[in-house]
Chains A and B, each alone.
Chain A
């Protein structure tokens, strides 16, 4: 019985002391050369029929620009909105915005034309300078690039003069 007790006590003592020796052994070898694996697991990133890719953000543009005799200057704002309800869901990349016009920034009705100016940041848009502005990366709130459209010409015929705008959004590469 006595022998058994002594064996158990010795084992317990060894258990307590052993880590001390282990630590000191590691400290003696410092600095240790090691390798840390750097991995990128994208095996689940390709969308499938059950989980199609979603839009990452939302951009509001004017649906149409309608001038009347009493409203010859109308808003033409472009707003970037949060895409999802998740925290930090604004895009992590910047976005450049340009605009193109079907009728070279003129309102048309048949062969008749009417001038108007689409203005962003004080500049009137044209075929060569059509930069609306930019949205920065990682925005924290909805952000608007303000714009206005101003009717310049005078209509000589009654009817509806139209133009169609296409806003282009390009992800910034840097």
Chain B
């Protein structure tokens, strides 16, 4: 099938390939002006990224090139404009549009990211839970608390830490059957805070406690406070407890 190039004077763009002479054509904007009702038929396409040949596009002066079906990789190529091959019949001119498409792709990704980020801000998050709390069952611990009207509080004796370190290895534990979250607060007797956890769900414990500062060799009176919060409403305080004990920083 042959398509003959119509040499219009009002073409506003041009296409140059390595093997063929300059081909002038209408930009998409010019096409809208020429065919405001879009009453033209696209018979095929010339240019880059095309594969299925339809016929020959005759340019005159014994020069011709193939034209193809309008199938191309839309991520890499796009319609740059149209060349007329008859009254109301055109061939699309396909050009590589990588940069434009990459900009569009980047814009789409940024938009999607913004939408997901906005949803994450709106939807309820689990940021109130302590990310260091892990499933934990203290060795040999008996917890027979099956009464939902009671809270089982772990009690602590003397607590040991290696001197001149700020890592305390102690199971700050919320027994499995408790009807509440626990928040642990460790303070020196003078009120200085050593540690404050986020909420720890039942059955989990923080075992690596990052203190606010290193503890020099010695003994310190501390309190380990446990605040409890309703599992159904984390803003609602329940009864809590506090253990007064001794932190011993010992050289190893």
Using a CB–CB cutoff of 8 Å, the interface residues on chain A facing chain B are 42-43, 45-49, 51-65, 79-86, 89, 91, 93, 95, 102, 164-171
Contacts and interface: CB of A to CB of B under 8 A. Distances in A.
Given A49-B208, A52-B207, A58 B237 contact: no
B38 interface: no
A166 B175 CA distance: 18
B140 A86 contact: yes
Interface of B: 138-145, 147-157, 159-162, 169-171, 173, 175, 179-180, 207-208, 223, 225, 228, 237-246, 250, 252
A171 B238 contact: no
Contacts of B143: 58, 81
A171 B157 CA distance: 7
A43 B47 CA distance: 81
A56 B250 contact: no
Contact of A60 (B152, B228, B250): B152
Contact of A64 (B138, B161, B239): B239
A62 B179 CA distance: 11
Contact of A58 (B141, B161, B238, B239): B141
A54 B240 contact: no
A164 B238 contact: yes
A164 B239 CA distance: 5
A95 B242 CA distance: 12
Given A62-B239, A64-B238, A54 B139 contact: yes
Nearest to B145: A60
Contact of A46 (B161, B241, B245): B161
Given A53-B169, A167-B242, A45 B160 contact: yes
Contacts of B173: 54-55
Contacts of B155: 55-59, 80, 83, 91, 95, 169
B241 A167 contact: yes
Given A53-B160, A61-B241, A84 B142 contact: yes
A168 B242 contact: yes
Given A46-B252, A83-B142, A54 B239 contact: no
A100 B161 CA distance: 30
B140 A63 contact: no
Contacts of A63: 148-151, 179-180, 228, 238-239
20 contacts: A45-B160, A46-B160, A46-B161, A49-B207, A53-B171, A54-B139, A54-B173, A55-B173, A56-B156, A57-B154, A58-B141, A58-B142, A58-B175, A60-B150, A81-B143, A81-B144, A95-B155, A166-B242, A168-B241, A169-B241
Nearest to B153: A59
Given A61-B150, A89-B140, A167-B241, 11 more contacts: A42-B250, A52-B207, A58-B141, A58-B153, A63-B238, A79-B150, A80-B155, A102-B237, A164-B238, A168-B242, A169-B242
A51 B152 CA distance: 22
A64 B150 CA distance: 8
Contacts of A49: 169, 207-208
Nearest to B249: A46
B138 A61 contact: no
Contacts of B246: 171
Contacts of A53: 156, 159-160, 169-171
Contacts of A51: 169
